[in-house]
C-alpha cells in the first residue's frame, strides 16, 4: 500500500492521502454527475410538459407546424425513457465514485468493490437492453421523430457491450485479487 504511486502514506498512523489523479477523477465524475442530474431533471420535466396540455408546452412548441411534429405522447415517452436511462447512468457514476474512494484509501480489493463492479456491469447491460427494446418497440428513434433519416433494425451499440464485458472481467479480477490478498494475510 505504501509503495503505491497513487497513495502517499508517509505519515505513520494517518490515513493515506490520495494523489491528484484519483482526486481529480472524483471531481470530474462529480461534475459529470451534476450534468447528468440536470439532464435527468430536464427530461423528467419534459416528459410531464409533453404529457399534459400546459402553457409551457405551447410556449416551447409555439410557431411549430403541428403536421411536422410527432405526437405529444410520443415526445413524453421519449423524454421519460431518456430520464430512466439518465437515472441508471447516475447510479453507475455513484458506484464508480465509491470504487475510486477505496482506491484512494489504498485498498481496492475488498468484497464491496466486487459487488459494486458486478452491479455496475449488470446495470449498464440492463439499461442498454431497456434502450434497445424501447427504441425497437416504441419506434422513438431519430428517424421516427423525423429529425434525420435513420436505418431500420435494432440499434445495438457494440461499444456499450464491450464496456459491459470489460467491467465484468474487472469484477472477476477484483474477486481473484481479494482471494489472493486473503490467502497472503493467512500465510503471514
Structure confidence by residue, pLDDT tens digits, 40-92: 999 999 899 888 877 777 777 776 766 666 677 778 888 899 999 999 999 99
Q: Measured between alpha carbons, how far is 107 from 90 in angstroms, rounded to an integer?
A: 24
Structure confidence by residue, pLDDT tens digits, 174-184: 999 888 888 88
3-state helix, strand, coil in the chain (%, to 5): 70, 0, 25
* Residues making up the chain, counted from first to last: 188
Q: Check: CB of residue 16 under 8 Å from CB of residue 106.
A: yes
Q: Check: CB of residue 16 under 8 Å from CB of residue 105.
A: yes
Q: Check: CB of residue 132 under 8 Å from CB of residue 154.
A: yes
Point out which residues pair with 17 in neighbouring strands.
Answer: 8
Other Cβ atoms less than 10 A from the Cβ of 100: the count is: 19
Q: What is the DSSP letter of 165?
A: H
User: What sign results for the dihedral spanned by CA atoms 126, 95, 163, 153?
Assistant: positive
Structure confidence by residue, pLDDT tens digits, 136-185: 776 655 555 555 455 556 778 899 999 999 999 999 999 998 888 888 88
Confidence bin at 21 (pLDDT 50/70/90): confident
User: What sign results for the dihedral spanned by CA atoms 84, 90, 92, 95?
Assistant: negative
Amino acid at each position: 500500500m505504501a509503495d503505491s504511486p497513487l497513495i502517499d502514506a508517509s505519515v505513520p498512523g494517518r490515513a493515506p492521502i490520495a494523489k491528484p489523479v484519483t482526486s481529480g477523477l472524483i471531481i470530474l465524475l462529480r461534475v459529470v454527475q451534476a450534468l447528468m442530474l440536470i439532464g435527468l431533471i430536464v427530461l423528467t420535466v419534459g416528459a410531464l410538459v409533453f404529457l399534459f396540455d400546459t402553457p409551457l408546452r405551447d410556449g416551447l412548441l409555439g410557431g411549430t407546424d403541428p403536421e411536422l411534429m410527432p405526437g405529444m405522447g410520443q415526445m413524453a415517452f421519449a423524454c421519460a425513457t431518456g430520464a430512466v436511462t439518465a437515472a441508471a447512468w447516475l447510479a453507475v457514476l455513484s458506484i464508480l465514485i465509491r470504487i475510486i474512494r477505496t482506491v484512494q484509501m489504498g485498498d481496492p480489493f475488498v468484497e464491496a468493490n466486487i459487488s459494486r463492479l458486478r452491479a455496475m456491469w449488470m446495470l449498464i447491460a440492463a439499461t442498454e437492453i431497456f434502450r434497445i427494446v424501447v427504441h425497437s418497440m416504441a419506434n422513438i428513434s431519430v428517424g421516427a421523430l423525423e429529425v434525420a433519416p435513420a436505418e431500420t433494425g435494432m440499434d445495438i451499440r457494440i461499444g456499450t457491450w464491450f464496456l459491459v464485458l470489460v467491467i465484468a472481467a474487472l469484477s472477476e479480477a477484483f474477486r481473484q485479487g481479494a482471494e489472493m490478498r486473503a490467502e497472503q494475510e493467512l500465510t503471514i
